[in-house]
Amino acid sequence: MPGNEPEIRSALADGTIENHRPRRIKGASDKHTLTPPCQAACPLHMEIGRYVDLVAQGKVLEALQVIRDGNPFPSICAYVCTHPCEDACRRNQVDKPIAIRALKRFAVEFGGDRMIQLEAETTHTEKVAVVGSGPAGLACAYYLRKLGYPVTVFEAYSELGGMLRVGIPQYRLPREVVDTEVQRLIHMGVEIKANTRIISLDLLLDMGYKAVFITVGAHQSIRMGIPGEDSPGVIDGATFLREVNLGLRPSLGEGVGIVGGGNVAMDAARAAVRLGANNVSILYRRSRTEMPASPDEIEQASEEGVKTMFLVAPTKVKRENGRLSVTCVQMELGEMDAGGRRRPVPIEGSEFDMQFDTLITAIGQAPQLSEDFRLRIGRGSTIEIDPVTLTTSRTGVFAGGDAVTGPATVTQALASGRQAASRIDDYLRHRYPLASREAEESSLGELFPKTIEMIRRVERLEPPFLSPEARVKEFDAVELIYDWEAAVNEARRCLRCGMGAEILFQDKCATCLTCLRVCPYHVPYLDDGGTIQIPAEQCQACGICVAECPAKAIVLRKPYDRRHIEAELEHVLKSAAELKSRTLIVGFCCQYGLFGTGALASLWREGKAGIWIVPVLCVAKLEERHLLRAFEMGAEGVFIAGCGDQCSRENTAFWVLQRVDRTRRALSQIGLEPERLQTFNLRSAKEDVAEALDNFTQQIAGLCLASIVEQEVKS
Amino acid sequence: MIVAEQKSVEEIRRVIAPYDTVLLLGCGTCVTVCGAGGEREVSFLSSALRVAQTKSSDAIHSLVEYTVKRQCDFEFLHVLVDRVKEVDAILSLGCGIGVQVVAERFSEIPVLPGVNTSFMGMTKEWGVWDERCTACGDCRLAETAGICPITRCTKGILNGPCAGTKNGKCEANKEMDCAWVLIYKRLEKLQELEKIRRYYPPRNFRVIPRPRRIVVKAGSEPGEDNG
């Protein structure tokens, strides 16, 4: 194809030929998988599908490894990420999205993220200064350090973390988590200069820093611009949260009003509740649908007793007798504004007064930059940068985080810090900026309605929360962690977008239509040219067509999925051979169920004499040759144990029984008793697997004895 | 499509018994589609034979697996030339045609059948195949509404139905549709019932001298050197 590539490209562009192959991840280790929507939506492009699948298998350490590869501070994200991945999750089209953030929290806690120590070697001499120690600054420092640069982080406040420390309340992000990450950076050799406000960049450059990353955040609250805004008792949200987060307990009084509808307003309201205010009202000038705060936050605030008044805006504040009298006006929604939200319009003559002890304003924040930085400033006092190189108007000075974007999420800031690190590396190494992974999008569209219909509905499991009564008293973390079983079951709901089957060998395909007939999800189809197509964006990766294809032309996209049964089986057979174990029984057990149900976990742990377990990621992927291979290598009996009705797939039991039937037929033709192959726990999980297995073991022992006697008699 | 069925492992073990190294040769066309002799079945058979060997103390064969796209043309068999030198026999999982073509191509070694070639038919649903054509060489489907009485009527009669039809089923098998009732219903639907009111004289069985050969190229006489 390289020869006529330009023609093909132009034909693709004008639609003369249709591109059946969706785009693949560039530079990714696994060329065959497609970018799933969750990964495309993540600012950090984390391999979410991979770690969710590893959690489903109970492989928490491996899951943590995948998470750490894509995220500098997974523990922080596990608490505060706004999870755009869950909004993009295609399970939304079926029931509810996978609880990705909660699963990450599970992996981070059970995998022992805080125990991990990192080392970094200095391989370059160019010093880099990071101004601001928020998530973007810390991420940039982390990656630059990993690349081998000496890095110094400057922070104006006494403690590091920026908004992580002074913006986000403790009940959402415990301080120890931030401390752990800072300690880890210090251990890696990042130099920290707290209580150091940078006022001039020239000075920094004079000190020998070859590159500077400005990430000072957006800490300056925007003013409402109404009379009486400066009265005592009126405080801005950023200052209020900073005071609370630095350990002060400002006295607020009973009645507290919050102006605004974003996450800062929610944080301020919930912090006020925890400080003892028992009448907290949020005043928001639009309606609930327009509210920018995350739905979970709104929900949790309302559980804690925060009242929200919609379509209300303050117009005047007056201080009388030690209290605040706030004049408000009712609003109605008018035309769409530039941001696509409906513009609130005051209703004339609808003014009314409200009484508060304290009024907290949280209608937005902007960066505050020293004049002496001499950087070009753009819209909303943010720093203007080149979108590709991330450089500011000054050579060697880069910027990122909220200071560039205006208030955004922690994950976006981390992504910006990571990107800045690689751009600074490019700059210092005199390289042209390399094409980044960030630019890629998911090519997976909507699921077919008939596919959605066939996907089994499985309820989303939420992690446990502290009760509203318990949480309003203190600033303890609100969300608790999944237990093992809940995490495994939640992770199993993943639809494995983009990891499904593909016809790898079109020349082998006999167009027999087996895949089309066996697919429980109606995914394969015959195109007008008479070629079978398995649209990657629809496939649910159950593996049934792979096992049934008579031409062996279909494979799963992930190389690991292709070989894992063979690899596990050979490993078990080798181990058994080394131990010279007799009356060997090989059990192919659903690995999801193995950890999920706990029933098989005990078998695994006890390791009963002569019973060897091959963990399988869904027994529907088992083929006859696997079963026969076990017998060939000396197994006297083979069993298959599924996960019963917990299975998140369709038709698993049917296909297992088909293959068992074929294998038993072959066994009896060879002269072996078909009872040597058994299935447990295929359709329901009620069966007591341990007991059934005991009976099976006895039966096999009996058959062995009989055959030994028979041979003796013959000889 | 040609439909075949894999022979029992027992029988296959018997026929390969005298040979040390056996090539299990699949075919990637009809027998793949009907699940009798494609790559998957080759692998299944090979596994089953290996189990049989470990479970009995019989002769140990060494088994080689390979699947060609089609066994019924010499050109597809060319890739086997070197492999065949290493083996003592070929067990072909192709249809009867495949077995013979392989035998003709590799005349020096025994070629054994691994499937029973059953009929020409269609996939009814996954795992079910039905016979549809007997290759009689004298097609009458135009008169019988596209339903072949020669294949689908147990008696193969040309003027049906016979007296053995009951509730639309055949007396020979109560599960099986009477082909002539199907023909009648479809002709009725096509408003061509006059076709069933005619008498069709018996077929001339002498028009089928076997083996048959079709020659479409000009300038050669049919019937020479056939086989």
Mutate: best of A554, A632, A664, partner B, most B CBs <10 A: A632
Contact A255, A357 (CB under 8 A): yes
Q: How far B159 CA sits from the closest chain A CA (Å)?
A: 36
The domains of chain A are located at 28-116+446-491, 127-217+381-439, 220-366, 501-556, 560-714
Using a CB–CB cut-off of 8 Å, the residues of A that contact B are 507-508, 510, 512-514, 517-518, 548-552, 624-625, 628-629, 631-634, 658, 662, 666-667, 669-672
pLDDT for the residue numbered B130: 95
pLDDT for the residue numbered A24: 38
Most confident among A475-484, A527-536, A659-668, B48-57 (mean pLDDT): A659-668
Instruction: Report DSSP letters for B40-66, one per residue.
Output: HHHHHHHHHHHHHHHHS-SPPPEEEEE
Tokens of B197: 């009111």
Across A274-300, average pLDDT: 90
ipTM here: 0.89
Q: Which residues of B touch A666 (CB under 8 A)?
A: 9, 44, 48, 51
Confidence of residue B56 (pLDDT cuts 50, 70, 90): confident
pLDDT for the residue numbered B160: 85
Chain A residue with CA closest to B10: the answer is A669
Q: Is A174 helix (H, G, I), strand (E, B) or coil?
A: coil
Question: Which fold does the domain A127-217+381-439 belong to in CATH?
Answer: FAD/NAD(P)-binding domain (3.50.50)
Using a CB–CB cut-off of 8 Å, the residues of B that contact A are 8-10, 13, 28-29, 32-33, 35, 38-41, 43-44, 47-48, 50-52, 54-56, 67, 69, 123, 125-127
Whose tokens are 């079109």? That residue is A506
pLDDT for the residue numbered A4: 43
Size of interface A-B (CB pairs under 8 A): 83
Mean pLDDT of chain A: 86
From the list A517, A633, A670, the residue facing B52 with the nearest CB is A670
CB contact under 8 A, A551 and B69: no
Q: Is residue A590's pLDDT more than 90?
A: no
CB contact under 8 A, B32 and A517: no
For A63-87, how does the pLDDT look when each residue is reduced to its tens digit (9 = 90+)? 999 999 999 999 999 999 999 999 9
Mutate: best of A514, A516, A662, partner B, most B CBs <10 A: A514
Is A410 or A690 the better-scoring residue by pLDDT? A410
Is B25 or A24 the better-scoring residue by pLDDT? B25
Q: Is residue A43's pLDDT more than 60?
A: yes
From the list B9, B29, B38, the residue facing A670 with the nearest CB is B9
Positive or negative, the Cα torsion across A647, A649, A652, A653?
positive
Q: Is residue A323's pLDDT more than 70?
A: yes
Find how far residue B104's CA is from the centre of its chain: 19
Instruction: Report DSSP letters for A203-269, one per residue.
Output: HHHHTTEEEEEE-----EEPP---TTTTSTTEEEHHHHHHHHHTT------SEEEEE--SHHHHHHH
Q: Which residues of A touch B40 (CB under 8 A)?
A: 548-552
Confidence of residue A26 (pLDDT cuts 50, 70, 90): very low
For A487-496, B10-19, B167-176, B202-211, which range has the lowest pLDDT when averaged over its residues? B202-211
pLDDT for the residue numbered A19: 37
Confidence of residue B136 (pLDDT cuts 50, 70, 90): confident
Confidence of residue B224 (pLDDT cuts 50, 70, 90): low
Where do the domains of chain B lie, and which CATH numbers do they carry? 2-119 (3.40.50.2300), 136-203 (no CATH)
Chain A residue with CA closest to B69: the answer is A508
For A331-368, how does the pLDDT look when each residue is reduced to its tens digit (9 = 90+)? 998 888 877 778 889 998 899 999 999 999 999 999 98
From the list A518, A549, A666, the residue facing B48 with the nearest CB is A666
Q: CA–CA separation, A97 vs B161, rounded Å?
A: 61
Mark out the alpha helices in A5-146 (DSSP H runs). Answer: 5-14, 37-41, 48-56, 60-70, 74-80, 84-88, 100-110, 135-146
CB contact under 8 A, B50 and A632: yes
Q: Is residue B226's pLDDT more than 60?
A: no
Q: Is the pTM of this model over 0.90?
A: no
Q: CA–CA separation, A549 vs B101, rounded Å?
A: 26
- In this chain, the answer to whether the domains covering A28-116+446-491 and A127-217+381-439 adopt an identical fold is no
Q: How far B16 CA sits from the closest chain A CA (Å)?
A: 14
Q: Is residue B115's pLDDT more than 80?
A: yes
For A119-133, A433-447, A652-666, B80-94, which range has the lowest pLDDT when averaged over its residues? A433-447
CB contact under 8 A, A671 and B39: no
Class of residue A459 by CB neighbours under 10 A (exposed 0-12, middle 13-18, buried 19+): exposed
Confidence of residue A471 (pLDDT cuts 50, 70, 90): confident
Q: In the CATH scheme, what architecture does the domain A560-714 have?
A: 3-Layer(aba) Sandwich (3.40)
Across A380-397, average pLDDT: 89
Q: How far A139 CA sits from the closest chain B CA (Å)?
A: 51
Q: Could you tell me which CATH number the domain at A220-366 has?
A: 3.50.50.60
From 3.40.50.970, 2.60.40.10, 3.40.50.300, 3.30.70.20, which CATH number describes the A501-556 domain? 3.30.70.20
For A217-260, how does the pLDDT look when each residue is reduced to its tens digit (9 = 90+)? 998 989 988 998 888 899 999 999 999 988 888 888 889 999 99
For A432-465, how does the pLDDT look when each residue is reduced to its tens digit (9 = 90+)? 876 655 455 666 778 889 899 989 888 898 888 8
pLDDT for the residue numbered A643: 80
Kindly give the pairing relationship between strand A365-366 and strand A234-236.
Answer: unpaired
CB contact under 8 A, B51 and A631: yes
Across A203-212, average pLDDT: 92
Contact A149, A426 (CB under 8 A): no
Q: Classify domain A28-116+446-491 at the CATH class level.
A: mainly alpha
Is B220 or A471 the better-scoring residue by pLDDT? A471
Confidence of residue B201 (pLDDT cuts 50, 70, 90): confident
Contact A547, A659 (CB under 8 A): yes
